[in-house]
Structure 1
Amino acid sequence: MAERRRRARVQGGWAGGAAGRLAAPKAPEAGSRSPAGGGQAWGGRDQLRSRKQFVFEKPSEVERRVPEAGVIDKPGVYELSTEPSGVSRIHLVPGFIDSEQADWMFEQLLQDVPWGQRTHTRQEGSFEEPRLTSWYGELPYTYSRITMQPNPNWHPVLTMLKEQIEEFTGHTFNSLLCNLYRNEKDSVDWHSDDEPSLGKNPVIASLSFGAIRTFEMRKKPSPEENGDYTYVERLRIPLDHGTLLMMEGATQEDWQHRVPKEYHSRDARINLTFRIIYPEPDRVWK
């Protein structure tokens, strides 16, 4: 009798254990809510996933690189840019004057042109231009607060070159600024030929003789850049003996140019810039 009761308790215990296992609560499915006061481990995982999903990461800054200068050294017409002011265009004509004739003209102009060195006056003092210049034309020309007086006595070589360029380009010119770069130390700084006396969208015909010098151009920055030229487009144009460079359209409004000093020895170079000058009713200092 005692043996029967012991077996019944043992069998009942196994049965109860099996029933307990079958009735055990299921683990909550991912994404389901745990009952209040229970399921802390599953709730912790959900919180970790939620935090990871909504972590704010500061966007990395885009690296802005200074663009490399382009090089123009082949003959042709190049459209540099198109802005509301118009199309900026240059025309490069190497060998416009053949080498032998260019040699003779260079020597004539070097000896006969009345070269002079102008002095700039600023609040911080005065300094001499790092080049020699001469002016030809019926009207005076003012730039950087320097006025060059009229000189109607054109040298015969200059008259011949003016007529040759006019025939080639279809443009007429009434004035000429001559520049003599004596060596690698002579230069002209960044500027635009945009004086009021030149009118809107002036055409400038630049003819070079002598040593090769690099003519550099850079696009004027947009208003958002606040005058910062760091990231603007730049060009380098080597100007050889007898080369003609035409600057047209909005080039003077949207671009600047210069002839920088050089680190290596350079012989003399003459640059002739033919242009049209208009009378100024009122002088405007720039």
Structure 2
Amino acid sequence: MTEIDTSKPHPARMYDWYLGGKDNYPVDEELGRQMLALDPRVPVMAKVNRAFMHRATRWLAGQGIRQFLDIGTGIPTEPNLHQVAQSVAPDARVVYCDNDPIVLAHAAALLRSAPGGITEYVQADVRDPATILEGAGKVLDFGQPVALSLVALLHFITDEDGAHDLVARLLAELPSGSYLMMTHATSDFTPEESAAATARLKAGGVTLALRTREEFTRFFDGLELVDPGVEVVHKWHPELGEPVPGQDDGVIPGYGAVARKP
């Protein structure tokens, strides 16, 4: 097992701290507090992304999707994606993937599948799609539709690191009728704060690649966007889930969308 590096902050552990979790280290909290000083809504952003995942997963399961590949899983926070999917479809198969060893340490919690369903975990980086697809292919049938979940992940991958190519590579293995569900932070609404946050994270060793609405929409090229298309995260089908506290603090600077592969 890869050793957990507690000397450098990690986005998954910072996300856990934002959500009030305990699986983080002082270095994660320190950088997290610096982010809060720039924008106190950061924990709300984390909760909004989580709530989007719940709504989108329920919607997809309601459309008959029975297979999910969740990359950038993060530290378990109930309900997890498999719990949401299997509450609608007990036979749903879910593969989680993350590159942080602390997530692997919590894999036992992730692997508690509903009877009739399957839940597995692959430790790999999104920049290594071949390893992800090989591991996921042991559980998922790539001859049947799969929902690919990339929630709050791609804003840590730059264009120079081939963010769009990575998404295209993953989608290329999935058949017609598959879906991409995705959220992404943006600087469209808070350019000055976003520039300061990007610089602060970079100083802490964390890359942040914020994208505009147009740049985010590019990830869905060749796909059929589900109504209402690209939307501010908390406004994507709010009727599918409970409201998230803090939404009335103004526009949450992030986009979300779900799209079908034709």
Same fold (TM over 0.5): no
* TM-score normalised to structure 2 length: 0.25
If you compute each CA radius of gyration, which structure gives the higher value, 1 or 2? 1
* TM-score normalised to structure 1 length: 0.23
More helix, by proportion: 2
